[in-house]
Structure 1
Amino acid sequence: MKIVICCVGRTDVSHVQESIDIYTDRLKHYLPVELTIIPEQKLWKKLSPDARKKAEGDAILSQLLPGDRSVLLDEKGKQYTSEDFAEYLQKEMGTGAKRLVFIIGGAFGFSTEVYAEVPAKISLSKMTFSHQMIRTLLLEQVYRGMTILKNEPYHNR
């Protein structure tokens, strides 16, 4: 299974990009990982929050392929311990799907169309993080989950 992280907007903070690169590189030893960046359009900045969510949502949905297992990173999503998240990853890998797509929206969240198309939601914390920072946190947790599944010493139990 390939892990795809679909996100709106590029990462423009160098230390955040370095962290993304570190965990992406580490994960390559376990499974393929791809970051799909949906570029922010200049027009979007002039839109109302709802119109912007709709435009971003259309772009997000265009990235999904038939048969993808998709999940939104959303503040109202299910929260997991690292061990439970590892089990979640294992379960998803056992579905036979080719891609597990984690979707990180823009600053205003997701459109109703995205919520309708992708009902699965997880939350990495009750706290709010920037849509750039959450990329690193998600990659680290996927890496941690893989080391847990392989019984490697990265995660202290």
Structure 2
Amino acid sequence: MNIELLVVGKTDSKEVEALVELYVRRVNRYCRFAVTALPDVRNTRSLTQNQQRTAEGEAILRQLAAGDHVVLLDERGDEMRSVEFAYWLQKRMLGGVRRLVLVIGGPYGFSDAVYARADGRLSLSRMTFSHQIVRAIFAEQIYRAFAILNHEPYHHE
């Protein structure tokens, strides 16, 4: 299975970028994992929140193929513990998912079209995190899931 973390906008933090790259390298020991940052929508000051969501949604949808299993990181998504997430991931691998696309949207969430295309939603927490730091947190959780599935000593429970 290939996993792609699709994010709206680039990070301006070298520290966050370095941390994401660390976990990308670690996850790539288990499966092909990539992070794709879509360009920020231009002229957002002249756009409503809905127009910005729509523009970001169009960019997200252009990145998806028909057979992709698409999961949105969304505040209203399912919350789970790391072990539960590991088994959730394993279920998709064993279920024949070829490409799992995990999407972190922009500051105003997702357009209706993206919600309609999604196969599921996950939430990291009921707390709100910056869209930049979520990249590092979620990349780490993907690595943690593989460590759990491979009975490695990274996760302590």
Within 2, Cα distance between the matches of 1:156 and 1:137? 17
Within 2, Cα distance between the matches of 1:43 and 1:59? 15
- CA deviation vs aligned residue, 1:45-100 (integer Å, no higher than 9, x gap): 42110000001001101111111111000000000100000000000111212111
| Counterpart mapping for 1:4-153 below 5 A | 4-153=4-153
Cα root mean square deviation, aligned:
1.0
Within 1, Cα distance between the matches of 2:91 and 2:47? 39
Larger deviation, residues 71-80 vs 94-103: 94-103
Shift of residue 119 of structure 1? Answer: 4.5
Identity %: 44
Q: Is the 8 A contact 2:83 2:145 kept in 1?
A: yes
Within 2, Cα distance between the matches of 1:71 and 1:65? 13
Within 1, Cα distance between the matches of 2:70 and 2:44? 24
Q: Is the 8 A contact 2:86 2:149 kept in 1?
A: yes
Count of matched residue positions in the alignment of Structure 1 and Structure 2: 157
State TM-score, norm by structure 1: 0.97
Paired letter, 2:12: D
Within 1, Cα distance between the matches of 2:97 and 2:29? 19
Q: Is the 8 A contact 1:16 1:132 kept in 2?
A: yes
Within 2, Cα distance between the matches of 1:95 and 1:45? 43
Within 2, Cα distance between the matches of 1:51 and 1:41? 10
